[in-house]
Structure 1
């Protein structure tokens, strides 16, 4: 395998929020020795200072990558979000700075799906109340209000990676599954799609949300539509904190409209263990509150560590951008006997022509060339003759609309 032109021992990698040691081992196994790991999220002011000489940055969900952070990180090539989402990154600024942003959208799917099924069993049997009573010396041996999952209807809002996995597990337990999604999705097993959210809420014994956090999903379940829920149903949210209007859910539980809830994500969450946590759902009967642990299993963290570190290494060493949310996706075959240059530019007409004209005018032969664009930027990979690669790199830096140029090998 070709080595990168920039010495690996000089590449600085910063990992925040106690990212799995799997990622650390992966980088070091590939020859990167400057790997710093911090166990906490870092506020903007401190992060601006930390990232000045960093080439690869790894975060989880709490660290906010703002415009100020990105503009301070002059050497930054890529960000790895060691989690499902990328909401915490200013993607527009990252795009315009030519910084690739990767995440792990599938790595903790099973962990979340299993917890949803586990919470469903606990809540439909009213275990939270019985557990609290037993710890206090009480004895609530009563079948009233306790049910089996078998034969019940599970309503899944958002039939993506996690929602569909929950669907499969639920059917294996004998549940009927219906789902609602704004996009057309192929049902798995015997699942069927509800035409409207109201239709799903009115039929489901248990409702579970698996949607991203967007303007459209904010307070997706609210005081206006919770009234459509089947009386005595259960609500689960292991997705994003803003998708349920919690005060409205609390009132629905108090009134008996909703029989219980399992909530793992909240609009405002403590920054770290030990900080005070507050929710309108605290103290309510048959409510299971967990501290954003849906994907927090050893297996999920290891999978995420392997997945995101592999994407970062593929980009750093091969220029591969599959899975990036910013730089257009390219997968590149190696080119023997050539040097490879990566060129990121603003997506305006004439840039590719300018690149080719500059190289042609200076009698630099192009052995291979690849281009992919999105609405904002273009990504060009050029393989050139080894003897002239340094000159070619300098010429490409002078092309109008250039954002970033890197001699890969």
Structure 2
């Protein structure tokens, strides 16, 4: 245990975080309302920092924190961390995908079931005294092939929940091999393009995956597909997704994330695309809440603190 035991917590966390941090011998400094400029100006030194997504974790932010040994990311994604800089300084990165994998898995399944049964549309119509059974005839998951792009904690949670639906789940992960298990069969990406009825993204946002899913990507699918994105919005070109929906290549879409989630900072092109997308009844949207449950809120703390204790 280092002499400096202080951990700065800069984002809103479940209230259990301070007691958990104390239980492993560290001193929590819980400042969820601290601003970026105030973090940069801090004179007090910390051995660790726990963050969500308030601000980029980069050289400018950390240059004065000479004793920093680790960053704890309360969640799965680390795209707001300057990984190269942290590695250069030998600062450990600890994240907690195990903490919200179950919540994300349930959310994806919920979105898929909502689409398959036309629940948002049907609910709205009944509330407006429209009783249209035929217009809300749905489809079944059973017998379909689900293709997963990426096979980490989140994708495996989705696959586990799909097992009872008697569908086939196949997955491609560029950075893994020999990962077939009782829930999925490992395949090449071309096989997903050939066979998938339902396609779900589970890759991190990197330079390699940014804008990966564009109109040319959609055209590679042999079938018309149901499309799900609960990973990162910037992986998908939204205008191209809209075009794929309008052409019928994408028959339904479930989106928990968007290319630009700052609704007050949309440019004109994004605003026009979103307006068209939001009017479509075969599209279901949620505000990046996959994995955002009361249970996961606390469980992320537990996973993160357990990992920090092992450093």
Q: Same fold (TM over 0.5)?
A: yes
Give the CA deviation at 1:144. 5.7
Give the CA deviation at 1:232. 4.5
Is 1:28 the counterpart of 2:28? The answer is no
Where does residue 186 of structure 2 map in the other structure?
193
Q: Deviations over 1:359-398 (max 9, x none)?
A: xxxxxxxxxxxxxxxxxxxxxxxxxxxxxxxxxxxxxxxx
8 Å contact from structure 1 (residues 63, 88) kept in 2? yes
Give the CA deviation at 1:143. 5.9
Is 1:305 the counterpart of 2:301? The answer is yes
Spell out the pairing of 1:1-400 with structure 2 (5 A cutoff).
4=1, 6=3, 11-30=5-24, 32=26, 35-38=29-32, 42-43=35-36, 45-50=37-42, 52-142=44-134, 145-182=137-174, 183-189=176-182, 191-197=184-190, 199-229=191-221, 231-270=223-262, 280=274, 281-312=277-308, 314=309, 320-321=310-311
8 Å contact from structure 1 (residues 265, 292) kept in 2? yes
Give the CA deviation at 1:75. 3.4
Higher helix share goes to which structure?
2
Q: How many residues were matched structurally?
A: 303
Where does residue 369 of structure 1 map in the other structure?
none
Q: What secondary structure is seen at the aligned counterpart in 1 of 2:16? A: helix
Structure 2 alignment gaps of length 5 or more: none
Q: Deviations over 1:343-363 (max 9, x none)?
A: xxxxxxxxxxxxxxxxxxxxx
Where does residue 393 of structure 1 map in the other structure?
none
Q: In 2, distance between residues paired with 1:190 and 1:99?
A: 36
Q: In 1, distance between residues paired with 2:123 and 2:98?
A: 33
Q: In 2, distance between residues paired with 1:306 and 1:252?
A: 41
8 Å contact from structure 2 (residues 51, 73) kept in 1? yes
Q: In 2, distance between residues paired with 1:134 and 1:51?
A: 60
Q: Report 1 or 2 for greater relative contact order, CA contacts < 8 Å, sequence distance ≥ 6.
A: 2
8 Å contact from structure 1 (residues 205, 230) kept in 2? no
Q: In 2, distance between residues paired with 1:77 and 1:51?
A: 16
Q: In 2, distance between residues paired with 1:212 and 1:27?
A: 27
Q: Which has the larger radius of gyration?
A: 1
Q: In 2, distance between residues paired with 1:222 and 1:248?
A: 5
Q: In 2, distance between residues paired with 1:148 and 1:180?
A: 24
Q: Deviations over 1:11-30 (max 9, x none)?
A: 43321221222221212345
Q: Relative to structure 1, is the Cα distance of residues 297 and 123 closer, same or farther in structure 2, using a 3 angstrom cutoff?
A: same
Q: In 1, distance between residues paired with 2:131 and 2:223?
A: 27
Q: What secondary structure is seen at the aligned counterpart in 2 of 1:235? A: strand
Q: Deviations over 1:317-356 (max 9, x none)?
A: xxx43xxxxxxxxxxxxxxxxxxxxxxxxxxxxxxxxxxx
Q: In 1, distance between residues paired with 2:287 and 2:298?
A: 20
Q: What secondary structure is seen at the aligned counterpart in 1 of 2:126? A: helix
Structure 1 alignment gaps of length 5 or more: 315-319, 322-409
Q: What secondary structure is seen at the aligned counterpart in 2 of 1:189? A: coil
